[in-house]
Amino acid sequence: MTITVVGHGYVGLVTACVFSDFGNKVWVVGHTPEKIDRLKKGDPIIYEPGLKEFLGKNLAAQRLHFTLDYKQAVSESDIVFITVGTPPTHNGEADLSAVFDVATNIGKNLKKGFTVVSCKSTVLVGTNKKVEEILNKNKRKDAQVAVASCPEFLREGTALHDTINPDRIVIGSDSNKAIDRLLELHEPLTGDRVITDLASAELIKYTSNAMLATKISFANLIAFYCEKTGADVETVLNAVGLDKRIGRVFLYPGVGYGGSCLPKDVNALVHTGRNFGIDVKFLDAVEKINADSRNNYLDKVLKHCKGKHIAIWGLGFKPDTDDIRAAPSVFLIKALLEQGFKLTVYDPEATKNIRKMFGDKITYAQNAYDAVKDACTLCILTEWNEFKQADLKKVKSLMKNPVIIDGRNIYQLEFIKKLGFTYISTGRQPIL
């Protein structure tokens, strides 16, 4: 089968690499010449474990092709995936302009015969109907097109695994022919098949992300209770998670959720609900608790820091990614700079993106130990394995004051107590 993927971010590039690895001919359409040239040379642009190897393998096999030209790609494709971003607007709603622009270009280049256009971008309910209208308005008369919604559920850091081994594959369409073609394309993949209408498929993605965000905010709410009452949040949530109806996944307290999906999608669902006259106080509370968790962390830093030099471990919103969109690190760096602190930061992958944002306002360390040298406080914001396994005796010897403010609870209390740190974590009693 020949397919086209419009967009080469996390979703688009991973989708293209996986389907080309299954033997399909895959075109990837972009709009930036520099990025397309880098991709042609095997540079994935973004950091994702295993992606560079997948990209190189399928480029070498000549199954994967990158272009700026819609005509060359779309005209020979059986399926066209839309994977462009839907960033939030100034009022929090999803900006769908890129999706509609892409739909216009696809429509103008559809071949004679039947093509499936499937949207993987996270879009509001009703968007695919508008995409269908745009396609029909712009296509040639002898071109037949059917629209489908095929949302993605990959996680940054495990995107390849999630794409190859999905929990479910959701296909929403009014066309049985489109559904059959998408089922054929996805045949090598595991996971339950969910065949539904367009509106349900569109809402499934938002609902999934809202639930994940809710679990994180709920864990942080319980952490607030634990800090006030003397309870231990890890003990509480471990016990709660043993209930098979609940589970422990995503019930992790800390500095809140970030990244390109959860903040944006919860916000978009809030605004969609208001447009339909739905009371969204529940989702408002999820967002507020997420903000409160970051402010709570900042308060701890300001309370326990005994100097003006702070080290930060972890800049990406999660480990195994260089993505800093809505990352806790961005919030904390801005807040501490306003307070006049000197900051030295380190992350295995995300440093270059933070440097683009903050320039020479902060210092960038080459490794975790260089970051803590002469620092009075260490802030941990991302749970990279190298931080979990760091030589804390060495860390203590390098710091001016042995204070750790842990936003991810990566160390055991008894272990850290024996080393003589002041240790402030989330939802657990401080070691002073």
Which residues does the annotation mark as catalytic? 261
Q: Report CA-CA distances (Å) from 233 to 53, 225, 281, 308, 345.
A: 40, 9, 25, 30, 28
Helix (H, G, I), strand (E, B) or coil at 134: helix
Q: By the 8 A CB rule, do 60 and 235 touch?
A: no
Using CB atoms within 10 Å of the CB of residue 360, give its burial: 0 to 12 exposed, 13 to 18 middle, 19+ buried.
Answer: exposed
Element (H or E) spanning 313, and its range? strand 309-313
Report the C-alpha gap between 391 and 370 in whole angstroms: 13
Q: What is the edge-to-edge ordering of all strands in the sheet holding 309-313?
A: 363-364, 342-346, 309-313, 377-380, 403-406, 422-424
Residue 412: CB partners within 8 Å, gap ≥ 6?
A: none
Length of the chain equals: 432
Q: DSSP class of residue 111?
A: P
Report the C-alpha gap between 284 and 290 in whole angstroms: 10
Q: DSSP class of residue 367?
A: S
Tokens of 420: 């003589």
Report the C-alpha gap between 21 and 36 in whole angstroms: 19
Q: By the 8 A CB rule, do 259 and 327 touch?
A: yes
Tokens of 306: 């005994």
Q: By the 8 A CB rule, do 250 and 155 touch?
A: no
Q: Report CA-CA distances (Å) from 424 to 33, 150, 196, 409.
A: 48, 43, 48, 9
DSSP string for 188-250: TS-SEEEEE-HHHHHHHHHHHHHHHHHHHHHHHHHHHHHHHHT--HHHHHHHHHTSTTT-STT
